[in-house]
Structure 1
Amino acid sequence: MTFSDMMNIGLMQGFAGLSLFSVLLLMGLGLAIIFGQMGVINMAHGEFMTIGAYTIFAISHLTESFAPNLMGAYFPFAIAVAFVVAFVVGWGVEWAFIRHLYKRPLDTLLATWGLSLGMQQIFRSTFGPKEVSPTLPDWLMGSWAPAEGLDIPLNGLFVMALSVFVTCGVLIALYKSRWGLRVRATVANRTMANATGINTKRTDRLTFAIGCGIAGVAGAAFTTIGSTGPTSGSLYIVDAFLVVTFGGAASLLGTVVSAFGIAQTQSVTEFFMSGSNAKVLTLSAIVVILMLRPQGLFASKVRR
Structure 2
Amino acid sequence: MGEYSASELWSIVVMQGFSGLSLFSVLLLMALGLAIIFGQMGVINMAHGEFMAIGAYTTVMLSKVAVEYGFGNLYFLPAIAVSFAMAFLTGYLVEIGLIRYLYKRPLDTLLATWGLSLIMQQTFRSTFGAKEVSAELPPWMMGSFKPTETVDIPINGVFVMGLTAFVCLGVFLFLFRARWGLQARATTQNRVMAGAVGINTKKVDRVTFALGCGIAGLAGAAFTTIASTGPTTGSLYIVDSFMVVVFGGAASLMGTVVSAFGIAQAQSILQFFITSSMGKVATLLVIVTILMIRPEGLFAAKVRR
TM-score range, shorter-chain basis? over 0.9
Secondary structure, in 3 states, of the residue corresponding to 2:152? strand
Could you tell me whether the CA contact under 8 Å between 1:188 and 1:302 is conserved in 2? no
TM-score (norm 2): 0.97
Q: CA deviation at 1:80?
A: 0.3
Q: CA deviation at 1:5?
A: 2.3
> 1:18-69 CA distances to partner (integer Å, 9 max, x unpaired)?
111100000000000000000000000000000000000010111112x21x
Q: Does 1:164 align with 2:165?
A: yes
TM-score (norm 1): 0.98
Name the counterpart of 1:22: 25
Q: CA deviation at 1:188?
A: 2.2
Q: Does 1:50 align with 2:61?
A: no
Question: What is the one-letter code of the residue matched to 2:62?
Answer: I
Alignment of 1:292-303 (within 5 A): 292-303=293-304
Cα distance in 2, alignment partners of residues 189 and 274 from structure 1: 47
Cα distance in 1, alignment partners of residues 274 and 208 from structure 2: 40
Cα distance in 1, alignment partners of residues 273 and 192 from structure 2: 52
Name the counterpart of 1:38: 41
Cα distance in 1, alignment partners of residues 81 and 289 from structure 2: 39
Cα distance in 2, alignment partners of residues 288 and 2 from structure 1: 33
Residue ranges of structure 1 left out of the alignment (5+ in a row): none
Secondary structure, in 3 states, of the residue corresponding to 2:218? helix
Cα distance in 1, alignment partners of residues 50 and 5 from structure 2: 44
Name the counterpart of 1:229: 230
Name the counterpart of 2:291: 290
Secondary structure, in 3 states, of the residue corresponding to 2:264? helix
Question: What is the one-letter code of the residue matched to 2:196?
Answer: A
Could you tell me whether the CA contact under 8 Å between 1:188 and 1:303 is conserved in 2? no
Cα distance in 2, alignment partners of residues 3 and 278 from structure 1: 22
Q: CA deviation at 1:110?
A: 0.3
Cα distance in 1, alignment partners of residues 64 and 273 from structure 2: 39
Name the counterpart of 1:111: 112
Q: How many corresponding residue pairs?
A: 302
Alpha-carbon RMSD across the aligned residues, in angstroms, is 0.9
> 1:56-101 CA distances to partner (integer Å, 9 max, x unpaired)?
0010111112x21x21110000000000000000000000000000
Same amino acid, percent of matched pairs: 67
Name the counterpart of 1:177: 178
Name the counterpart of 2:193: 192
Secondary structure, in 3 states, of the residue corresponding to 1:146? strand
Cα distance in 2, alignment partners of residues 118 and 303 from structure 1: 40
Name the counterpart of 2:219: 218
Q: CA deviation at 1:185?
A: 1.1
> 1:132-190 CA distances to partner (integer Å, 9 max, x unpaired)?
00110011111111111110111111111110000001001111111111011112222
Q: Does 1:206 align with 2:200?
A: no
Q: Does 1:95 align with 2:96?
A: yes
> 1:121-142 CA distances to partner (integer Å, 9 max, x unpaired)?
0000000000000110011111
Name the counterpart of 1:140: 141
Name the counterpart of 1:10: 13
Cα distance in 2, alignment partners of residues 132 and 202 from structure 1: 36
Secondary structure, in 3 states, of the residue corresponding to 1:166? helix
Could you tell me whether the CA contact under 8 Å between 1:189 and 1:303 is conserved in 2? no
Runs of 4+ with deviation above 6 angstroms: none
Could you tell me whether the CA contact under 8 Å between 1:30 and 1:210 is conserved in 2? yes
Residue ranges of structure 2 left out of the alignment (5+ in a row): none
Q: CA deviation at 1:303?
A: 4.3
Question: What is the one-letter code of the residue matched to 1:35?
Answer: F
Name the counterpart of 2:277: 276
